[in-house]
Amino acid sequence: LAEYNNPLPTWWMGLFWITIVFGLVYLALYPGLGTFKGMLGWTSTGQYQAEQAKADATYGPVFKKYAAMDIEAIAKDPQAKAMGERMFLTYCSQCHGSDARGAKGFPNLADGDWLWGGEPQAILTTILEGRTGMMPPMGAAVGGPEGVKEVANYVLSLSGAAHDAKLAEAGKAKFAACAACHGPEAKGNPALGAPNLTDKVWLHGGSLAAISEQIDKGRTNVMPAHKEFLGPERSRLIAAYVWGLSQPPAGAK
């Protein structure tokens, strides 16, 4: 066996030394060695704050224009509506869909059916503060599996959906356990986020199986608060856009 001495190509050695020099310069300028902050004093937080300040200086006057306007008035402003739509697509469409019509577990925002109230201020509060909706498991309270089936059929009957009339009649009295939140007429309660059960609008499915599961196991839904993330001015534009989605077109009767 013979060991050869083949020197590395000159370009490779040059690149090797350039890489070392670059690394040393980088470590001198930027933080990378323990508590050493670098000669430039750069931080990702500082860069973020600088970019945010630049954006605020550029767009702040635009948002400020709408800060004192009523949400209804903002919704009628074409520029504000376009801005609200773009922000909705960026921050809200992941859950509610690009057309705002929602999905299973995520409310449709374009149909006028509201869990927490559809007034402009209520919508703004929902965006800023978020919402936590909790329905407790009611299986035991309504009498076990048979009671769940009876109440589920009664709930279906309220909206005119297909149901077993005999089971629905038996479930009517047991619905009293649900009336504390949904009301004696099952029209819901926006103060609690309790849905109207008479309008054929179902957030988690309107089949017998889906309603039975909801009664038996309960449900917890959370919409995160966006106050710290979006701020009140951007939130007002989104609230105006969302409110406008459920309003009839101008001139419609």
Domain shared by 141 and 100, yes or no: no
The Cα 120–Cα 136 span in angstroms is 29
Give yes or no: residues 80 and 123 share one domain: yes
What pLDDT, in 10s, does the model give residues 26-46? 999 999 888 999 999 999 999
Residue 35 lies in a domain: no
Instruction: Report whether pLDDT(253) > 80.
Output: no
Note whether 51 and 98 are same-domain residues.
yes
Q: What is the pLDDT of residues 82-127, one digit of tens each?
A: 999 999 999 999 999 999 999 999 999 999 899 999 999 999 999 9
Q: Confidence class of residue 4 from pLDDT cuts 50, 70 and 90?
A: confident
State CA 185 to chain mean position distance.
30
Specify whether 165 is located in the same domain as 203. Answer: yes
Inform me whether the pLDDT recorded for 189 exceeds 70.
Answer: yes
pLDDT at position 139: 96
- 152 and 82 both lie in a single domain: no
On whether both 118 and 230 belong to a single domain, the answer is: yes
Rg of the chain (C-alpha set)? 29
- Together in a domain, 118 and 139: no
Q: Answer yes or no: do 178 and 198 share one domain.
A: yes
**By residue range, what is the domain housing residue 169?**
133-223
Q: What is the pLDDT of residue 252?
A: 55
pLDDT of residue 251: 57
Q: How far apart are CA 152 and CA 146, in angstroms?
A: 10
pLDDT value at residue 76: 94
- Report the domain count for the chain: 2
**pLDDT of amino acid 132:** 95
Rounded to two decimals, the pTM is 0.80
Both 155 and 175 in one domain: the answer is yes
Same domain (yes/no): 114, 137: no
Residues 71 and 144 placed together within one structural domain of the fold:
no
How does residue 5 score in pLDDT terms, banded at 50, 70 and 90? confident
Q: How far is CA 230 from CA 47, 49, 58, 93, 186, in A?
A: 19, 15, 16, 15, 35
pLDDT of residue 114: 96
Mean pLDDT for the chain? 94
Residue 10 within any structural domain of the chain: no
Is 106 within the bounds of a domain? yes
